[in-house]
Amino acid sequence: MDNDCVRFDAVHKVFQKKTVIEKVDLRVDRGEIVALCGGNGAGKSTLLRMLVGILHPTSGAITVNGLSWQAERRHYAQQIGYMPDDYRFSVGLTALETVHFWAKLRGLGKNRALEVLSLVGLSDNVNKQVSSFSKGMRQRVLFAQALLAAPPLLVLDEPTNGLDPYWMETFIQLVRQAASNGHTILFSTHQLQIAEALADRIVFLRDGNIVLDGSKEQIYEQHGAAGLQQLFGELFGIRSGL
C-alpha cells in the first residue's frame, strides 16, 4: 500500500505572470513530521495554501490520502486541520465561542472545543475575548481549532510565531504526540531551532524551488555538526540563520 499522505506532483504556481512556485515534487509519508524552511518569499506559505485549497495550482496535482481537492472536495477537506499564519478574529467573541463556532462546522460540540483549548493551555481564558489576547495566545487558539477533528493531516503555517519559550516546548510535545498517534504534520517555519527539534525531515525552499530535502541525520552527515544554521548559510549565502 502506498504510504504517501501528501503528494505534490509537478506543482507550479504563477501570480500576475510571476512564477512563485516552480514545478515542485514532494512526498510526505503518513506519520511523518516535515518542516518547510526558507527565507521570505521562498514559497512556503504558497505551497501550504495550495495544499489546503485556499489557492490552486496553475498546473500540476496535489493529493491527500489519494484524494484531490477538485474531484472530492468535501472528503479532501476532512483530511486536513489547518493553522494559518495569521487570522482576523471576530470582534467580541471569546476563545470558547470562537473555537465552538469552528467545532460546529466540523459537526462537533462545545465539549470538544473546551478539550482542545485545554490542550493548548487556555482553560483559564476560555471566556475572555480573543481580541484581548497576545499574539502567542491567538496562535494557540488557531492551533486548537486545527486539532478539533483530529484530522489525519495537520498543516501549520509558522505555528510558533509569538509563542513564549514554555509554550514553544509544549507545542513541540503536542506535535510529537499527534505524530505518535498516526497524524502527519507538515509545517513551515523560519525558526531553524524548531525545525531541528521537531522535524523528521526538512525541506529547504528558495525562489519556489526545493533546494534540499533530507532527514536531520542526512543533513548532519553532509553538512557537519553545526546543523541547520550552517546549512542555511551555505544555501543562502549568509552567516546566520533566520
Res. 224: pLDDT tops 90: no
**Residue 58 belongs to domain with CATH number:** 3.40.50.300
Asked if residue 45 lies in contact with residue 205, where contact means CB atoms within 8 angstroms, the answer is no
| One-character DSSP codes across 44-98 | HHHHHHHHHTSS--SEEEEEETTEETTT-HHHHHHTEEEE-S---PPTT-BHHHH
**Whether residue 99 sits in one domain with residue 45:** no
How far is 107 from 19, CA to CA, in rounded Å?
39
| pLDDT computed for residue 120 by the predictor | 93
| One-character DSSP codes across 108-141 | --HHHHHHHHHHTT-GGGTTSBGGGS-HHHHHHH
Number of domains in the chain: 2
- State the Cα angle at 74 between 150 and 178, rounded to 5°: 15
Task: Give domain status of residue 124, yes or no.
Answer: yes
Res. 231: pLDDT tops 50: yes
| pLDDT computed for residue 115 by the predictor | 97
Give the range among 138-152, 188-202, 215-229 with minimum mean pLDDT. 215-229
Asked if residue 53 lies in contact with residue 77, where contact means CB atoms within 8 angstroms, the answer is yes
**Whether residue 74 sits in one domain with residue 98:** no
Task: Give domain status of residue 221, yes or no.
Answer: yes
Segment 219-238 mean pLDDT: 67
**Whether residue 99 sits in one domain with residue 211:** no
| pLDDT computed for residue 228 by the predictor | 67
| pLDDT computed for residue 241 by the predictor | 40
Burial of 18 (0-12, 13-18, 19+ CB in 10 A): exposed
How would residue 107 be classed by pLDDT, with cut points 50, 70 and 90? Answer: very high
Asked if residue 61 lies in contact with residue 68, where contact means CB atoms within 8 angstroms, the answer is yes
**Whether residue 93 sits in one domain with residue 53:** no
How far is 25 from 174, CA to CA, in rounded Å?
28
How would residue 226 be classed by pLDDT, with cut points 50, 70 and 90? Answer: low
Q: Give which of 142, 152, 195, 160 is closest to 28, Cα–Cα.
A: 152
**Whether residue 120 sits in one domain with residue 11:** no
The backbone region for 127, taken as left when phi is positive above 0, alpha when psi lies in -120 to 50, beta otherwise, is alpha
Res. 100: pLDDT tops 90: yes
Task: Give domain status of residue 163, yes or no.
Answer: no
Give the cell for residue 56.
Answer: 490552486
**Whether residue 174 sits in one domain with residue 131:** no
**Whether residue 175 sits in one domain with residue 105:** no
Structural domain containing residue 98: 86-150
Residues in the chain: 242
How far is 31 from 28, CA to CA, in rounded Å?
9
| pLDDT computed for residue 209 by the predictor | 95
How would residue 242 be classed by pLDDT, with cut points 50, 70 and 90? Answer: very low
| Residue where a domain stops, chosen among 100, 122, 150 | 150
1 DSSP assignment = -
pLDDT in tens, 36-72: 998 888 999 999 999 999 999 999 999 999 999 989 9
Task: Give domain status of residue 5, yes or no.
Answer: yes
**Whether residue 216 sits in one domain with residue 112:** no
CA dihedral over 213, 24, 22, 14, signed as positive or negative: negative
Task: Give domain status of residue 120, yes or no.
Answer: yes
**Whether residue 75 sits in one domain with residue 5:** yes
Task: Give domain status of residue 141, yes or no.
Answer: yes
Mean pLDDT of the chain: 90
**Whether residue 45 sits in one domain with residue 108:** no
Res. 85: pLDDT tops 80: yes
**β-pairing verdict for 209-215 and 201-206:** antiparallel
- Better-predicted residue by pLDDT, 162 or 11: 11
Task: Give domain status of residue 164, yes or no.
Answer: no
Walk across the sheet containing 59-64 and list its strands.
18-29, 4-15, 59-64, 67-68
Q: Give which of 110, 164, 117 is closest to 142, Cα–Cα.
A: 117
| pLDDT computed for residue 227 by the predictor | 59
| pLDDT computed for residue 222 by the predictor | 76
**Whether residue 125 sits in one domain with residue 19:** no
Task: Give domain status of residue 140, yes or no.
Answer: yes
| pLDDT computed for residue 1 by the predictor | 47
**Whether residue 195 sits in one domain with residue 127:** no
Res. 77: pLDDT tops 80: yes
Q: What percent of the chain has pLDDT over 90?
A: 70
Segment 203-229 mean pLDDT: 82
| Residue where a domain stops, chosen among 119, 150, 181 | 150
